Amino acid sequence: MDTRRLFRSSATAVVAVGLLISGCSSGSSSPKASASDAASGAASGTASAGSAAPEGGAGPVDQAALKKYYDQKLDWRSCGPSGFQCATLKAPLDYAKPSGAEIDLKVARKKATGPGKRLGSLLVNPGGPGGSAIDYLTGYAGIGYPAQIRARYDMAAVDPRGVARSAPVECLTGKEMDAYTQVDQTPDDQAETTALSAAFKKFAQGCEKRSAKILPHVSTVDAARDMDIFRQTLGDKKLSYVGASYGTFLGATYAGLFPKNTGRLVLDGAMDPSLPARELNRDQTAGFETAFTSFADDCVKKSDCPLGTKSAADASTRMKSFFHTLDAKPIPTGQSRKLGESLATTGVIEAMYDESAWPQLRDALTSAMSGDGAALLAMADSYYERQSNGSYANLMFANSAVNCLDLPPAFATPKDVEAAIPSFEKASPVFGEGFAWASLNCAYWPTKATGTPHRITADGAAPIVVVGTTRDPATPYKWAQSLAAQLSSGTLLTYNGDGHTAYGRGSDCIDTAINTYLLEGTPPAAHKKCS
């Protein structure tokens, strides 16, 4: 198991539509807004008055040197599924040295279909960090968002730097990742603790070896600044945006940096930027415990529940016991990899993102408890975005690179983890120990963190809708409450339900509130609740 503060929407794992981007470069289409609009202060990267360091430690940027990036014209070309276009957006590799090296960022869009007056572009990001926004656009948002939204907006996305098509961070080979994902993350003795630390070190060293140039420049602040350049090249004076999971942190960071350029922002499955890494990880541990309890409550009502039919508490005890069994003796899966505790735990975690996966998890646990780990292994592979040929998408590599740059590490040494395990186990008897050890990964990272915990107020921004789900595993509901309270123009929209994120997941109440906001600019009533 390796959670690595993975904050992605449940849709991220199921969209994998490729685009033919390699031939795209900066070129010829004309944006409607001038670069002078950006240079008037929006491109400076300075915080809005009254915000407590919304950049999370980012320094000032030479706005004059950024003018050429805001002035660039994109060469849009048809690619991928019908109606989609791709291009390459250029940005400075290092915003502190904007006249230096450049980075190529892959972008995509699908133009508004009509009828109705065009409202501009709607950027989307599915989270991660490390989820491909372009895959999300082409596999879901650009074809599955409500027709009235797609009629009025050009649907658009940029793979953030370090992710997928945009100078992707690379760390380990497929075989090395296979070995890494099987390392015991609930060490029972010093030898196992040493082995886990060695695995984290090897991962970090692999990232440094293969991606040293990009590693210092993949922070959320960098990605937010890239989005403002993209906004300008699209011809939009304001950024309209739907961000899910980690995408809410990216959107909130944008609002803190560029409040005057902030249009209609939906932050669904919100993160709390004010929390340090250890608290984020412990809160997420509690979130997955809440989600598992909800799953267990549902499971024990069914006669075929593999965790028994007594109570959710009894089911949790049985789940933990089964993990211990797999720790001692992994079971076969029909391939060379066996299912041990780490992969089994990851498979269970994967199902917590979306309650529609609960029947699949029941079946997988039934099989695993009968000695066949194939189904639960497949769920773990989905979490890690492992391909059928044994290769891995760069999700986990980019995830570590961004997280370890955005915040100082949760723990510095294994002894720090050992001291904190009781508090993590209090947050989650089922997952606590493993989540605590997984939080050690950034201790060995080769690039020092540039971000810090910080509140974001985004003074002067237009109304921002923050969405929280009461039993969300990956982004606990209290984070949405906190972010909505921090943002000077934030409005909290609550979904009383299960799963990760809320928009487009079956609640007419949620969908209507968000669609109305995106189409008319009217946020829902304060503290509106849906089920």
Q: What pLDDT, on the 0 to 100 scale, is given for residue 54?
A: 40
Mean pLDDT within 275-291 = 97
The verdict on residue 366 lying in a domain is: yes
Q: Are residues 153 and 27 in the same domain?
A: yes
Catalytic one of 48, 184, 428, 500? 500
Q: Are residues 159 and 178 in the same domain?
A: no
Q: Does residue 404 carry a pLDDT above 90?
A: yes
The verdict on residue 475 lying in a domain is: yes
Q: Does residue 455 carry a pLDDT above 70?
A: yes
Range of the domain at 339: 174-213+277-406+410-444
Q: Are residues 100 and 206 in the same domain?
A: no
Q: Are residues 78 and 223 in the same domain?
A: yes
pLDDT tens, residue by residue, 84-117? 999 999 999 999 999 999 999 999 999 999 999 9
Active site residue 245: yes
H or E element: which one contains 39? helix 35-39
Neighbours of 332 (CB within 10 A): 14
Under the banding of pLDDT at 50, 70 and 90, the label for residue 21 is very low
Q: Are residues 165 and 178 in the same domain?
A: no
Q: What pLDDT, on the 0 to 100 scale, is given for residue 51?
A: 32
The verdict on residue 96 lying in a domain is: yes
Q: What pLDDT, on the 0 to 100 scale, is given for residue 41?
A: 35
Decide the pairing of beta strands 153-158 and 127-128: unpaired
| Percent above pLDDT 90 for the chain | 87
Active site residue 472: yes
Q: Are residues 281 and 180 in the same domain?
A: yes
The verdict on residue 459 lying in a domain is: yes
Q: Are residues 203 and 242 in the same domain?
A: no
Q: What pLDDT, on the 0 to 100 scale, is given for residue 399?
A: 97
Q: Are residues 476 and 494 in the same domain?
A: yes
Place of tokens 């409005």: 491
Under the banding of pLDDT at 50, 70 and 90, the label for residue 329 is very high
Q: Are residues 260 and 372 in the same domain?
A: no
Q: Does residue 3 carry a pLDDT above 80?
A: no
Q: Are residues 91 and 207 in the same domain?
A: no
Mean pLDDT within 284-298 = 97
Rounded distance, CA 258 to CA 224, Å? 9
Question: Based on the structure, what is the number of domains in the chain?
Answer: 2
The verdict on residue 2 lying in a domain is: no
Catalytic one of 236, 406, 472, 498? 472
**Coil vs helix vs strand at 237:** coil
Q: Does residue 38 carry a pLDDT above 70?
A: no
Q: Does residue 519 carry a pLDDT above 90?
A: yes
CATH of the domain at 485: 3.40.50.1820
Q: Does residue 338 carry a pLDDT above 80?
A: yes
Q: Which residues partner with 89 through β-bridges?
A: 105
Query: How many degrees, rounded to 5, is the angle at CA 155 between CA 152 and CA 160?
Result: 150
Contact 494, 89 (CB under 8 A): no
pLDDT tens, residue by residue, 119-146? 999 999 999 999 999 999 999 999 999 9
Q: What single-letter amino acid sits at 529? A: K
Q: Which of 8-17, 376-385, 390-399, 465-474 has the lowest mean pLDDT?
A: 8-17
The verdict on residue 347 lying in a domain is: yes
Q: Are residues 320 and 432 in the same domain?
A: yes
Q: Are residues 23 and 133 in the same domain?
A: yes
Catalytic one of 197, 240, 245, 482? 245
Rounded distance, CA 289 to CA 431, Å? 7
